[in-house]
Amino acid sequence: MKNSTLYQLSAMLLVLTTASSCKNLVEIPESKSQIETTTVFADSTTASSALLGIYFTMGTASNSVQSGFKYIALYADDYSYTAALAGITAFHQSIVQPDNTQNAGLWNSLYSAVYQCNSLIADVEKSSALSPAAKKLLESEAKFLRAYAYFYLLNLYDHIPLILSTDVNQNKGASQTDKQTVYNQILKDLLEAMTGLDQQSTGTGKARANSLAASALLARLFLYQNNWSEAERHASMVINSGVYSPLPKLEDVFLANSKETILQFWNQNGFISDAAQLVPASATVLPQYVITESLYQTFENTDGRSSKWIAANQVTSAGTTKSYNYAAKYKNRVANTARPEYIIALRMGELYLIRAEAYARQNKTAQAVADLNILRNRAGAGIIEEAISNEACLQAIAKERRLELFGEWGHRFLDLKRTGQLDAVLGPLKATWRPEIAKALPIPNTEILYNTNLIQNYGY
């Protein structure tokens, strides 16, 4: 392992093991609505350690963001749930309540990252020891991570407080901010991150954001805001850079440092924190999270994604054997340093889909089809003819997004939500679906009790 990778490991472990006692590191507050710090960074090593701690929060810490996002796959129609934990069953039934601990864990993980970013930015600005170049790099990465966290907070909860400071008194009474203001802040952070970062990632691998990661998230942001020309432009920046192409084989997409990975969240042992829940312990064990039949049947017979990214267990019960499909994008259930896997935060597959949709929304159907066919050719699914109608092209894009991005970061739920199809698609599938109410998760009760200025989402 290269020295820079060893440094990242040491720094992350340092953050985790000493954050509670070392006054030179950013401390994660006990309350999720405030942060206190007297830190003034004395050198770039301490500051970088704190920054890597934020990446760790976003990726693989206990109750991590990605762990929470398997529940969003349940909330939509990617996964079914075979176990009996009430809080997780509520996600499967799309009836999450304000006292749901899994929902609170997701909210808290995202805001914990936000608060750490705010603290780091404030401390970097106060430091007289850091060079201007070091300050620019640290602030740019922190702003990217803050934008990443706020993107999900806004799109999952709809009505959220916009916290940009570390002032306890100000934060503990913060009211919710209108959505456009939050979007504007995300945009501001990403534009500043893009201009403040180099195209070359810091350190070994792809575990820290570069300017292309900021462009990739900007492309997604503009797609969600129906700004098709800017979505196309930023997606093209990433695609045309040539840094992440050609696309790797399906079986290599989710390996650490995969060619198509734009940003990944590092972990120590080469397997993601969700592995024990997503990957069964043996070939005959009933998977906890099962690929829904509606998703599985959407794959065409020749589509390699159904065999490379989905596996099946044969489970015998009461003398009857039944096949259960489960997600196998990530395959490591235990430590694997020979073929490690890190959580992929951004990858090229999504960028081709963003650009395809941006093209199609601008009636550039031929270009949209060309981008879709790049992914379909890799999957062995066959090509789509350029002569299809624009409406058929948009339908094909929606289908490809479901097949390419299933189980990843809540894409299915967020796609149905942003296109206004949640009730039409999920309503018939779930007897407990609540139109209009279910489009946003509830604000956790603990947050409303702590901050009486917060207003619960509609219907809860």
Report strand pairing: 289-291 vs 310-317. unpaired
CA dihedral of 259, 265, 267, 271, whole degrees rounded to 10: -60
Which of 45, 44, 65 is closest to 54 using CA atoms? Answer: 65
pLDDT of residue 66: 60
Domain coordinates in residue numbering, the chain: 3-80+101-271+342-450, 276-327
The CATH label, of 1.20.1560.10, 1.10.490.10, 3.40.50.1820, 1.25.40.390, for the domain at 3-80+101-271+342-450 is 1.25.40.390
Mind giving me the DSSP string for 165-227? ---HHHHTTPPEE-HHHHHHHHHHHHHHHHHHS-SSPSSSTT-S--HHHHHHHHHHHHHHTT-
pLDDT of residue 45: 86
Rounded alpha-carbon distances, angstroms, from residue 406 to 162, 277, 422:
29, 16, 16
In the chain, the amino acid numbered 246 is P
pLDDT of residue 168: 84
From first to last of its 460 residues, the chain has per-residue pLDDT tens of 443 333 343 344 434 333 333 333 233 333 333 333 445 677 788 899 999 999 988 886 544 556 689 999 999 999 999 999 999 999 999 999 999 999 999 999 999 999 999 999 999 999 999 999 999 999 999 999 999 999 999 999 999 999 999 988 888 899 999 999 999 999 999 999 999 999 988 888 999 999 999 999 999 999 999 999 999 999 999 999 999 999 999 999 999 999 999 999 998 899 998 888 999 999 999 999 999 999 999 999 999 999 999 999 999 999 999 999 999 999 999 999 999 999 999 999 999 999 999 999 999 999 999 999 999 999 999 999 999 999 999 999 999 999 999 999 999 999 999 999 999 999 999 999 999 999 999 999 999 999 999 999 999 9
Residue 320's beta-bridge partner residues?
317
Cβ neighbour number for residue 210 with a 10 Å cutoff = 23
pTM, two decimal places: 0.91
Q: For tokens 């093991």, what's the residue? A: 17
